[in-house]
């Protein structure tokens, strides 16, 4: 169960005491506040706090740019203009604080996004729970033969079962040893102090779950989501990004719609690629050899065009 009984009781208590406020409130986000959204087998995300909404972005932009935005007739149009022209500062006026429970190896990918504030559960002071990420059989895949950091064909039958058994048994064995090292009773029954928690944790595998509070502004959150909600991202971090996307879509629907259109659904073309498009529109047949692009660039260009 991703959320413990104590955590659920805390969530229920927090949601049962709404407070009046004069600050900007997003009804969509209020529905998510404190609730846990399950991810993977034991993980979750939940919103602890947030600041701002779509109107906060517009307010900041109009203060910053003044007459430059007078021609924009509505908030949605202004937000789309800002997103289209890469004006990032107004989006930084909105912030979100998330409580995330995730496997350690996912956390190590996640922490690469350094433009956030993070406070992680400390295994120096506390004892980690016996919870490990064990993939579904459909997530067990061989190494890709074309992508050094990707997956290939899904493992089948006996091979999949063998890998799952290794993951389960190694996880349990390492935790047994973790508990044994922490124990204040020696193997012969005599008293001993037990190994320090900061040392005993060394033996734990990367699929054990950790937790943290993660606070980030909307601009940098969009950067995170553009990379991690992408189809090429590792599945185990992508499902967290997808869960966050659903929350953000309810929090700032105009901003998320613009992000989805211009960033997730859009594409950036090089000068050479734009020149090729112009030549194609003029009726010229353009090939990789005449494009001025490398084979890799041309392959990606064809992918954008849908060829």
Q: Which two tokens stand for residue 279?
A: 């030549």
Q: Are 271 and 71 in contact (CB under 8 A)?
A: no
Task: Report the candidate in 246, 277, 305 with the shortest Cα–Cα distance to residue 31.
Answer: 246
Which structure tokens are listed for 113? Answer: 């996004």
Nearest Cα neighbor of 255 from 59, 39, 23 is 59
How far the first Cα of the chain sits from its last, in Å, is 45
3-state secondary structure at position 34: coil
HSE (CB half, 13 Å, CA atoms) of 91? 27
Angle at the Cα of 244 from the Cα atoms of 242 and 246, rounded to 5 degrees: 75
Catalytic option among 46, 80, 201, 228: 228
CA distance 154 to 222: 31
Give yes or no for a contact between 194 and 183, defined as CB atoms under 8 angstroms apart: yes
Q: Which of 175, 211, 177, 190 is nearest to 36 (CA)?
A: 211
Residue 162 falls in the annotated catalytic set: no
What residues are annotated to the active site?
228
């Amino acid at each position: 169960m991703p959320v413990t009984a104590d955590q659920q009781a805390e969530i229920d208590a927090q949601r049962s005491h709404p407070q009046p406020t004069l600050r900007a409130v997003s009804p969509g986000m209020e529905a998510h506040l404190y609730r846990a959204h399950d991810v993977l087998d034991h993980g979750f995300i939940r919103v602890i706090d947030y600041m701002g909404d779509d109107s906060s972005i517009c307010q900041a932009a109009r203060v910053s740019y003044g007459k430059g935005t007078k021609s924009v007739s509505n908030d949605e149009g202004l937000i789309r203009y800002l997103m289209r022209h890469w004006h990032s500062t107004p989006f930084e006026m909105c912030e979100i604080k998330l409580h995330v429970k995730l496997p350690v190896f996912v956390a190590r990918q996640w922490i690469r996004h350094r433009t956030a504030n993070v406070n992680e559960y400390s295994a120096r002071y506390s004892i980690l729970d016996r919870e490990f990420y064990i993939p579904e059989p459909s997530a067990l895949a061989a190494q890709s033969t074309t992508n050094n950091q990707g997956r290939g064909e899904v493992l089948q039958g006996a091979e999949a079962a063998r890998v799952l058994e290794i993951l389960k048994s190694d996880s349990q064995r390492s935790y047994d040893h973790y508990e044994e090292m922490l124990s204040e009773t020696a193997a012969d029954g005599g008293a001993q102090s037990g190994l320090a928690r900061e040392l005993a944790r060394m033996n734990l595998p990367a699929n054990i779950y950790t937790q943290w509070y993660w606070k980030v502004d909307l601009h940098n959150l969009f950067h995170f989501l553009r990379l991690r909600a992408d189809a090429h991202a590792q599945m185990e971090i992508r499902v967290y990004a997808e869960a966050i996307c659903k929350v953000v879509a309810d929090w700032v629907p105009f901003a998320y719609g613009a992000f989805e259109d211009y960033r997730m659904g859009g594409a950036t073309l090089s000068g050479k690629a734009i020149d090729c498009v112009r030549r194609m529109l003029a009726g010229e047949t353009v090939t990789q050899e005449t494009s001025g692009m490398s084979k890799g660039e041309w392959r990606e260009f064809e992918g954008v065009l849908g060829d």
